[in-house]
Amino acid sequence: MKYKFKFIVALFVLLYIVITALVFNFYRELALKDTRREAFYILDTMNAVRDYVSTVQRPLINELKEKKLLNEDFFDPRLMSSTYITREIYKIQLAKENINYDYKLVATDPLNPEHEGSEFENEILEGFKENRYKEYSRIVYDKGGASYLLSLPITNSQPSCTECHSINAAPKKMQELYGDVGNFKGGLGDTIAMISFKIPIKSILLYHTKEFVVSGLSLLVVFLICIFCIYKIHKKNATLKMQTQLLLINQSRLALMGEMIGNISHQWRQPLAQISSTLVNLELYSERGKLSEQRLKEAIEEANEQVKFMSDTIEDFKNFFNPNMPKSEFEVKQAIEQACKILNATLKKHVIDVKVEIKDTFTLYGNINELIQILINIINNAKEAFLNLPQERAQANRWQILITALLQNGERTITLENNAGNIDKGVINKIFKPHFTTKKSGSGLGLYMSKVIAEKNNARIYAQNINNDVVFTIKFKNS
């Protein structure tokens, strides 16, 4: 259950990372769409300025020239060059630190060096000239990192544009200002340049930092609430499981109690018979006048020994069924001997020999009664196996149980071997499951509870068929 909870938490963490990545990608795409819309707005504004110069300012200046109010060769880029004006507007905005994007005009064979493009930019411009696309937008990578780029073409849309973009019609002042204009030409409708908007992706994302942080924190809170709810459910299930196991342990103990009462009767039968015999002898001696003080004293001592034996038997059973037995350190030999002592009468009744070999002495920490319960369950299981043997097999061999305590590869180990024959291969892996039994009247709790108690005490229990015997092994992990 613990690992299942960890797996669910890990799954939720992974899910949180995936969803956070998707949300980040969503805001990234949203930011790029907003940037694209803003880029179009800025470039359209610049084109609007160009259109204003072409349709209003230049015709007005030409009108002033015709009225002889201006020299026919008059040329001032501040009034007549839309390229100059839009560039100056950008520089003013840049100086005020109100923008975080780059604006650039790129032309073929420009008069102004500022309008020379890179190899990549000239390829885009050629694409516009060849009508391969009407706009160009993509994420580009340079030394400054990733940036979003949007480019739009510039055409000679007005007749006034061709006046400057013509070898024969270019004003003398313009030629004096820029020098050779031999390659600076273009007809009406021709693509002569392009304008570009470029902004770092980092700046785009920073613009949406607030939305991303709020969304991320909201997701985190939701996931933490989910994990908390799962944790509460996990704790509730763990508590329920523990309560169920305690209930099963008590149920198993109640089942054992019935057997133990039978064992007590067997344990008491012999001392009661002995006491009865002593009392009969005393009566006979008294009737014949042969009851001496010495014989009376010996009879009383013998009766006291039997009563003490009966009292010890009750004390052993009382301790075993004590639910409040504290945890303590005890020797493994003590637990084995106590289990054998409790079952002594029933084992004798069915003529089952129990041999104990303490090859290595070691101590355990916990509730000694829990280990005794495991041993009793396994010994009782062996007893039932002996009793269910076919008559011919039952008479062929002496019934034996060998209990061994030893250290195997540094692990504290107890083995219980019986010669009642192998457990069926199809059954041996199921015997520790709850309510599994091969007996007609069995509850199927004994071995299951042994497994639960073993795991509770940091141990594991398993069964093996070795030759014609069955060996139950309890291994305690080194703490």
**Residue 382 backbone class (left: φ over 0; alpha: ψ -120 to 50; beta: rest):** alpha
Longest dimension (CA), the chain: 173
Predicted local distance difference test score (pLDDT) of residue 441: 57
Q: What is the DSSP string of 146-184?
A: EEEEEEEEEE--SHHHHHHSSTTTS-HHHHHHH---TT-
Tokens of 208: 């949406």
What pTM, to 2 d.p., does this model score? 0.48
**155 has which bridge partners?**
191
Strand 191-200 to 136-142 pairing: unpaired
Predicted local distance difference test score (pLDDT) of residue 111: 66
- Residues whose CB is less than 8 angstroms from the CB of residue 456 and which lie 6 or more positions away in sequence, other chains included: 245, 370
| Euclidean distance between CA atoms 2 and 8, whole angstroms | 10
Predicted local distance difference test score (pLDDT) of residue 417: 94
CA 130 from chain centre, in angstroms, equals 57
Residue entry with tokens 């930011």? 31
| Euclidean distance between CA atoms 205 and 27, whole angstroms | 8
Q: How many CA atoms are closer than 13 Å to the CA of 233, on its beta-carbon side?
A: 10
Mean pLDDT for each consecutive 10-residue tract of the chain (479 residues)? 70 83 79 79 82 82 82 74 80 77 80 79 87 86 83 70 51 52 54 82 75 80 84 83 72 63 67 81 81 82 80 71 76 91 83 92 88 88 86 74 92 92 85 72 70 87 90 88
| Euclidean distance between CA atoms 463 and 471, whole angstroms | 6
E-strand ranges in 174-266 read 191-200
Residue 417, helix vs strand vs coil: strand
| Euclidean distance between CA atoms 463 and 440, whole angstroms | 22
Among 373, 338, 320, 332, which Cα is nearest to 475's? 332
Q: What angle do CA 362, 363, 368 make, to 5 degrees?
A: 130
- Measuring CA to CA, how many Å separate 371 from each of 106, 251, 427? 89, 17, 24
